[in-house]
Amino acid sequence: MNMKKRIGEYYNRRAATYSELDAPNTIVSYVRSVGIRDHLEVINPEQDDKILDVGCGSGRFLTHFPKANTIGVDFSLNMVKEAKKTGVALVCGDAEHLPFKDNSFDIVHSAGLMGVFRSKKIIDEMVRVTHPGKCIYVSFPATLSVSGLTALLFLKLSRGKYNPSLFDCWYTEKDIATQFPRNLGVEEIMRLGWEFPFQRFFLRLKSRKLVRAFAFLEKYLRNKPILKFFCARFLVKARKKQR
């Protein structure tokens, strides 16, 4: 079975329980909510922007984009079904072959997809459907982070059988540079996602006090240079060059 089909089947199975990641009063849900906030502060979408969310999953970003002009696309049919609750237009499709015309969107966004499937073709397709002069925003899990090195260590020790993270693909800034075509100018690479490893083990532990303590640490320590090592992902802002 090829990797893409295996990923699709995995997320079809996970779709029914994926909302557990956003259960209230857990560290995981807090980290995910901060991730949305961080992305929105960078993207700052306008009401009339035409937006495409690639690898939209169950729709956690879709509810924060203008509904009338936003489309979500995901490879997993069951995830698309879960995302229907957002009220946003949805398409079940392949990110390597986006079913949209050239220059169709003002903003193209993807969070998490490059962590589960490494493919330069995905970036090429995102660029193709973006208007010249407009931006794409893509997140990449950071290899040189506490979460990244922990995940890679466990993968190596278990010979690929055990992965404590949601991601299989990790990137350095040098890796990221190889993913972008020449007609796309990278404007900024931001380090986001301050977190501890093994957060999924806390899914069943619901505690407002624990979340408040974590929120305090996240707020006051995330921008300390030495603690950037806990920031588990890059968010890249890149602009499609004018013809």
pLDDT in tens, 209-220: 888 988 888 888
Which of the listed ranges 6-20, 41-55, 180-194, 208-222 does the model predict with the highest average pLDDT? 41-55
pLDDT of residue 6: 85
- Report the candidate in 80, 121, 58, 72 with the shortest Cα–Cα distance to residue 100: 72
Please tell me the pTM assigned to this model: 0.92
Helix axes 27-43, 208-221, angle to 10 degrees: 40
User: Which CATH code fits 3-240?
Assistant: 3.40.50.150
Could you read off the pLDDT of 132-144 as tens digits, one per residue? 999 999 999 999 9
SS3 category, 40: helix
| Mean local confidence (pLDDT), 189-207 | 78
Of 158 and 96, the one with more pLDDT: 96
Confidence at 196, pLDDT banded by 50, 70, 90: confident
Listed in order, strand segments (DSSP E) in 19-97 are: 51-54, 70-74, 89-92
The whole-chain average pLDDT of the chain stands at 89
Could you read off the pLDDT of 160-171 as tens digits, one per residue? 776 656 677 899
* Residue 238 predicted with pLDDT over 90: yes
* Alpha-carbon gap, residue 71 to 50, rounded angstroms: 8
SS3 category, 214: helix
